Amino acid sequence: MKIATWNVNSLKVRLPQVLDWLAAQQPDVLCLQETKLTDAQFPRAEIEAAGYQVVFSGQPAYNGVAILARAPMTELERDLLADDPQKRLLAATINGVRVVNVYVPNGQAVGSEKYAYKLAWLTALRDYLADALKQHEKLVLLGDFNIAPEDRDVHDPEGLAGQVLLSEAERAAFRELTALGLCDVFRLHHQEGGLYSWWDYRAFMFRRKLGIRIDLILASPMLAGSCSSCEVDVAPRRLERPSDHAPVWAEFVV
C-alpha cells in the first residue's frame, strides 16, 4: 500500500500537477493539504475520472484537506476542535488502515496568537490520536506538520533556532505524538541531513537547496514494521508554478 502526502498550496492551481503525479506514481492513497477550495468548488469529477475516490473538507481561501484513494473510504471524521472554521483534519479507513490527514497550523511566530492556537491544536491532536490508536492497530498520521522534528531536518538549524517550526514547544508536541508509538517512517530509511520537503518561494531557496522537512508520515507500530520505503519526490518542485512543498510517499507491505 503506497500512501502519500502533498501540500499543494491551492488545488485549483495545482490540479494538473496532481493528476500527472497520480498517473506517474500510482499511489493507493494521496492526502492533500491547503486545497484552498470550498466543498462546492472541489474538482471531484476530474479526480474520479483518474480512478480515485475522494473525500474533502474545505473552506474559502485558506486551509482545506482531501483524501484520494483507489479503494472505498469509511468511518469519515473531520474537524479536531468543535466550532473551528479552519478545515485541517480529515480521517478515513481504507483497506483496514486508518488514515489521518492533517494540516497543522503554521504558527506564524513564536509567542503570537497563531502560535498559541498551533500548540492548542497539537494538544488536541495528541488526545485524538491516543484514542484513535486504541481503536485502530494499523494507523498512519500524515500531512504538513509545520514542525521540523530535529536539527538534521533544517538547512540552517543555528540561524533558525527557537523560531517557529523549530521551537522547543513545537518539538515537544511532536515528541508527544511519537511517544504514543507513532514512528516517523522517513527516518527508518534515511539518516542524513539535507533532505527536505518544503522550500520557501523567496530567495531561490529550492535552487539553493535550502529547505525544511515538515511533511511527514507517522505510522503505528504494526504499520511501521511493514514500511519498505519512504521518499520525498522533488520532481514536482522543479515544475513551472510549483507548490512550495514536494510530495512525500511511503510504501507499506500489508
Q: Active-site residue numbers?
A: 103, 144
Give the integer Cα–Cα distance in Å for 142 and 127: 16
Q: Does 111 bind DNA (CB under 7 A)?
A: no
Q: Using CB under 7 A as the criterion, what x/- string covers residues 177-216 for binding DNA?
A: -----------------------xxxx-------------
Instruction: Kindly tell me the sign of the dihedral angle through the C-alpha atoms of 122, 152, 144, 229.
Output: negative
Q: Does 84 bind DNA (CB under 7 A)?
A: no
3-state secondary structure of 100: strand
Q: Does 239 bind DNA (CB under 7 A)?
A: no
Contact 93, 74 (CB under 8 A): yes
Please report, to the nearest 10 degrees, the dihedral formed by the alpha carbons of residues 126, 132, 35, 94 taken in order: 150
Contact 148, 107 (CB under 8 A): no
Show contacts with DNA in window 35-74 (CB under 7 A).
36, 60-63
Least separation in angstroms between residue 244's CB and DNA is 7
3-state secondary structure of 36: coil
In the complex with DNA, which residue's Cβ is closer, 109 or 179?
109
Least separation in angstroms between residue 232's CB and DNA is 17
- Using CB under 7 A, list all residues that contact DNA: 9-10, 12-13, 36, 60-63, 105-106, 108, 114, 146, 200-203, 241
